[in-house]
Structure 1
């Protein structure tokens, strides 16, 4: 029976799975939109939303240290505290959106687009 199991293993070891979530969360925070498989996107959403919530609620040295330990990148920590925490200050969760994107050509895996809500599309087209 599967009682009490609340995460997908994604056919990876625990270290590989955590490293993958870490790398995907950094890419999502940096680019604000990535394309991945649907199960990976569903596992990534709570991971990223916890990071953004820490940036919103703990705007102090302790919060910066927590986020630096999660992201290992000072540029992303600065973006979390300056851009994303201001963007989501009136939103109580739900910072990510998952949309189905079809199926991958090689193995027919379901794809999904995961993106941050209320992202600035105009500046992305210029850059």
Structure 2
């Protein structure tokens, strides 16, 4: 027995659902933006993202995989030649869903689904280590070339150990 799909069912059988999602994807790639119900848009998003990933690969096998879903050759051509170069720098998130409100007839939640074709602007990374190192004063190191001078400097350093009176005053506090 075939395993049912996860998520909301879009009515009809699995073949009808597959064809409906393919038509929605074709409309999205043709018009760059479609208005549909929220449920359909959420089911369409993974399919559309996968088609764009195939288009970014651009080889013959990827084109045939997309043609297996979207049978309109002009839509597939536009996806591979127009849309894929525009989203080439983007790692994912090729679609955007914006809620519009509710449909008057049946109160279904409507959304605007569109392709994100704006050029990607890289984020500037603000790390705390770079700001902290800029605020710290720079300490210069002194290099001692002669071994005798180094021994004399080590001999001049005297470590004071606390006396018993100083320890008693700390304990009293």
TM-score (norm 1): 0.84
Return 5+ residue gaps in structure 2 as ranges.
119-173
d(CA) in 2 for partners of 1:28, 1:99: 14
Match of 2:7, SS state, is coil
Report the CA distance shift for 1:69/1:11 in structure 2 as closer, same or farther (over 3 A): closer
Tell me, yes or no, if the aligned pair for 2:83 and 2:117 is still in contact at 8 Å: no
Distance 2:18 2:44 in 1: 10
Match of residue 47 from structure 2: 47
Instruction: After TM superposition, give the deviation of residue 31 of structure 1 in Å.
Output: 0.4
1:91 alignment partner, SS class: coil
Instruction: State the alpha-carbon separation in 2 of the partners of residues 71 and 17 from structure 1.
Output: 13
State the match for 1:122 in structure 2.
Answer: none
Within 5 Å, which residues of 2 pair with 1:5-84? 6-57=6-57, 59-84=58-83
- Structure 1 stretches lacking a partner, 5+ long: 120-127
TM-score w.r.t. the length of structure 2 is 0.63
- Give the deviation of 1:61 after TM superposition: 1.6
Q: Distance in 2 between matches of 1:10 and 1:61?
A: 32
Q: Secondary structure at the match of 1:100?
A: strand
Please say which structure displays the higher CA radius of gyration.
2
Coordinate RMSD, CA, aligned: 1.5
In 2, the alpha carbon distance for the partners of 1:94 and 1:114 equals 12
* Offset at residue 5 of structure 1 (A): 6.0
Higher strand share: 1
Aligned length: 115
- Large movers: runs of 4+ above 4 Å: none
Residues in 2 aligned to 1:116 and 1:66: alpha-carbon distance in whole angstroms: 20
Offset of residue 10 of structure 1: 2.3
Which protein, 1 or 2, shows the higher relative CO under an 8 Å CA cutoff with sep ≥ 6?
A: 1
Q: Any idea what SS the aligned residue of 2:112 has?
A: strand
